[in-house]
């Protein structure tokens, strides 16, 4: 996702006291474009809200990726936020497909991949499903080849603002939504499960900082959906 927006004031005060690393047993790669990367104070990634839920649940996880968030975040329960991720603003599925193997080789092997808004930027740029879907399949194939036991949670992506979603774009998002469930079923193996998570149902304009990016409420909504799917695969 490419467009920009604004942010509310919930996290404007950054704590300065010492905090400790929250890195733990289960490695999680947040993968995608700007909805993963975030751009504080303009719009939010879901990663911080999800990390806080994980800390509150007393789970032991480590976010991994070649990218580090450069924004500032409050510590939580005396833990420092885990800044690592694999979000690349504006990137499309062929770009991610071309680089995913390099990223995986440059960082700790993820036990879990959170695949955000697959095909979202492609659809915004007018790409056809015929060009989007092979790339999504190939990205999953490459992740599974790197770790045959990986768990992949893949989004049925949340829409953009209703005034922005014209008829053609709405139809494309709905088609991707349907096909992601089919991909998840087809790509699940004996050792690697691919799980769709419906980010569209219940999502509203109130969750957006601009036409496509999350505000804090939207980030929490997405984080809660991920957290519910993650719980069976986490460790204390």
Tell me, what DSSP letter sits at residue 159? P
Residue 61 token pair: 């996880």
Report whether pLDDT(97) > 80.
yes
Three-point CA angle 111, 221, 231, nearest 5°? 35
47-56 and 216-230 helices, crossing angle to 10°: 50
* 11-22 per-position pLDDT tens digit: 334 444 589 987
CB atoms within 10 A of CB 124: 22
Domain ranges of the chain: 26-231
* 178-230 per-position pLDDT tens digit: 999 999 999 999 999 999 999 999 999 999 999 999 999 999 999 999 999 99
Judge contact between 49 and 219, C-beta under 8 A. Answer: yes
**pTM for the predicted model, two decimal places:** 0.92
* 104-130 per-position pLDDT tens digit: 999 999 999 999 999 999 999 999 999
The CATH number that domain 26-231 falls under is 3.40.50.1110
């Amino acid at each position: 996702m490419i467009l920009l927006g604004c942010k509310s004031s919930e996290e404007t005060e950054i704590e300065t006291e010492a905090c400790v690393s929250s890195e733990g047993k289960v490695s999680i790669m947040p993968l995608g474009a700007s909805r993963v990367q975030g751009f504080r104070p303009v719009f939010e990634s879901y990663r911080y809200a999800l990390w806080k839920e994980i800390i509150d649940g007393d789970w032991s996880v480590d976010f991994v990726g070649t990218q580090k968030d450069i924004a500032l975040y409050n510590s939580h329960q005396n833990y420092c936020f885990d800044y690592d991720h694999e979000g690349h603003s504006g990137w499309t599925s062929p770009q991610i497909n071309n680089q995913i193997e390099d990223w995986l080789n440059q960082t700790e092997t993820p036990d879990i991949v959170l695949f955000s808004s697959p095909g979202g930027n492609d659809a915004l740029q007018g790409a056809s499903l015929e060009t989007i879907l092979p790339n999504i399949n190939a990205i999953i194939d490459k992740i599974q080849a790197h770790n045959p036991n990986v768990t992949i949670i893949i989004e049925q992506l949340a829409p953009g603002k209703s005034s922005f979603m014209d008829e053609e774009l709405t139809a494309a998002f709905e088609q991707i939504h349907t096909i992601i469930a089919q991909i998840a079923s087809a790509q699940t193996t004996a050792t690697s499960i691919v799980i769709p998570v419906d980010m569209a149902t219940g999502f509203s304009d109130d969750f957006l900082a601009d036409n496509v990016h999350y505000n804090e409420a939207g980030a929490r909504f997405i984080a809660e959906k991920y957290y519910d799917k993650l719980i069976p695969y986490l460790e204390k």
